[in-house]
Amino acid sequence: MPGATSNPDVPASDDETTSAVGRRIKAVGVSEQGLALAIGFLIVLCLDTEQLTVIPLLKEIASTFTLTPGQSAWVLSATGIAAAASVPVLSRLADLFGMRRMLLLTTSMVVLGNIVCVAAQNFETLLAGRVIIGFNAGLPIYYAILRGRSRSGKESDKYSGAMTFAIGLAISGSYLVGGAVLELGGGVRTVFWLILILSVVLLALIWAFVEDIPTRTRVPVDYVGALLLAGGLTLLVYSIGKANEWTAGLLVSLLAVAALLLVAWAAWELRHRQPLFDLRVIKRRDVWPAFVIAGVVAILGINGALAICNYAQTPSIAGYGLDASTLMAGVYLLPCGLTIAFGGGIAGKVIGRFGQRGTSIAGATIALLAFVWFSQVSGTSLQVFILSFLIGAAYALSYTASTAAYLRAARPGEQGMLTGAARAASTAIGALGPPIITALLAASHVPGLPLPARENYVHVWLFLAGTAFLMLLAGLLVREARFDQRAAENTEWIDGSAPVRD
């Protein structure tokens, strides 16, 4: 990790900035950027794309643990529901109690959750493990650490691109690992063991090589705000996830309760003198459009890739589909992951040339044209590879630009708040995708077969094209964020120097 950063107005000597972590980095002889990228890759693989590894194994999980379809759905959704409740609050608490401390805590929760999953013998234990894994704010906290270590907007943009590179590699690995394990004769527990081992390695690397940032936000914990936000987001994500199973009346009622909780949270935060989340910061034009883009790109990236995966695995007897195995479906998605990685590697330069706004618009335009095009073609193997490539390019540009925007906008003391709020927006908006796509695919079936009709997939591609259009509109509203090293209100430097305030 980059060396410690102190008050920019007070120069620090080498002795002051040298720490035990810094000495360990020098001892291993690996560059700080190389370590930052390696740790970022493992954070994404173990803590963020773990869901992508499990999704292709749902049938195997159901068989191993003798699960009903409803129980299988709970195993899949439990982590997202737990994350909706915990991630924004954990990220903000990192501003108060220390980024490194909270990163170690959340990674330890993932290790514990994986241990429970490995040892599980029934649905209840497996579900408990999946819930524990959901208490995982590793990625937003790590983004906050990288922003805290950045000394300029250019360096912050470079870290955003590097993390997109790590995400691309991790996505590629996540798509392939489940199918590869099954092809080699392993099972679900083999995959759980693999994720557990990697998460333990990650925990050790964080302890050894991740240094804290030298600011603390000095406000009391807003328990009322935390409970209102956690309750509202949990109920929102849970209700949307069950949209295809409940009656319209029940769904509307629960969504109304979720909306009331979130409105009550917003009113409380706006009136609170020291809020957990300062909505006056979040509503700025250099912040909220980036949050919307981050959420919409989650719909496009994850749901677009999963729709491709399902399409490829459809038997050709349906009149479409590619008869792909689980492993081959992952191969079809490799262009997406690898393009995200390559795009992340150059995104910092692209943002420097065209700005956050221009880069966001470019990514949204690519996604819009790609899904409209694919809705009109026959869906051959080559065309699926091309679509996968285009999704990756759109994701790399839009995701990196949106991340760069809110990281630049985050002043010292606000990093965890903004990265956690971005993750909350991404979770809430991204949750809209699966029930809509599920409903579209279930609208009609191939005569005599329990498979979606071909036109259902056309509707899915057009829905994703419409989603890309919304991302384009949000991109037009992006205002270039200014990199600001002045400490936010109620924030102080803990390295002994005087705090810098607005």
Q: 91-135: per-residue pLDDT in tens? A: 999 999 999 999 999 999 999 999 999 999 999 999 999 999 988
Q: ∠ CA 8-11-12 to the nearest 5 degrees? A: 115
More confident: 327 or 372: 372
Proportion of the chain above pLDDT 70, given as a percent: 91
pLDDT of residue 51: 67
- The Cα–Cα gap between 415 and 99 comes to 10
pLDDT of residue 380: 92
pLDDT of residue 165: 86
Q: Is the dihedral of CA 327, 331, 334, 336 positive or negative?
A: negative
Q: Are 302 and 337 in contact (CB under 8 A)?
A: no
Out of 39-43, 195-199, 371-375, 436-440, the most confident range is 371-375
Q: Are 334 and 175 in contact (CB under 8 A)?
A: yes
Map residue 215 onto helix, strand or coil.
strand
- The Cα–Cα gap between 87 and 141 comes to 9
Out of 192-196, 228-232, 463-467, the most confident range is 463-467
Lowest mean pLDDT among 77-81, 290-294, 378-382, 389-393: 77-81
DSSP codes of every residue in 102-114: HHHHHHHHHHHHH
DSSP codes of every residue in 396-419: HHHHHHHHHHHHHH--TT-HHHHH
CA-based Rg of the chain, rounded to a whole angstrom? 22
> Is residue 49 very low, low, confident or very high in pLDDT (cuts 50, 70, 90)?
low
Q: Are 35 and 27 in contact (CB under 8 A)?
A: no
pLDDT of residue 17: 40
**What's the predicted TM-score (pTM) here?**
0.84
- The Cα–Cα gap between 96 and 273 comes to 16
pLDDT of residue 496: 54
- The Cα–Cα gap between 224 and 374 comes to 47
Q: Is residue 12 pLDDT above 50, yes or no?
A: no
More confident: 241 or 260: 260
> Is residue 219 very low, low, confident or very high in pLDDT (cuts 50, 70, 90)?
confident
Q: Is residue 349 pLDDT above 60, yes or no?
A: yes
Map residue 194 onto helix, strand or coil.
helix
- The Cα–Cα gap between 237 and 430 comes to 9
Q: Is residue 52 pLDDT above 70, yes or no?
A: no
More confident: 9 or 463: 463
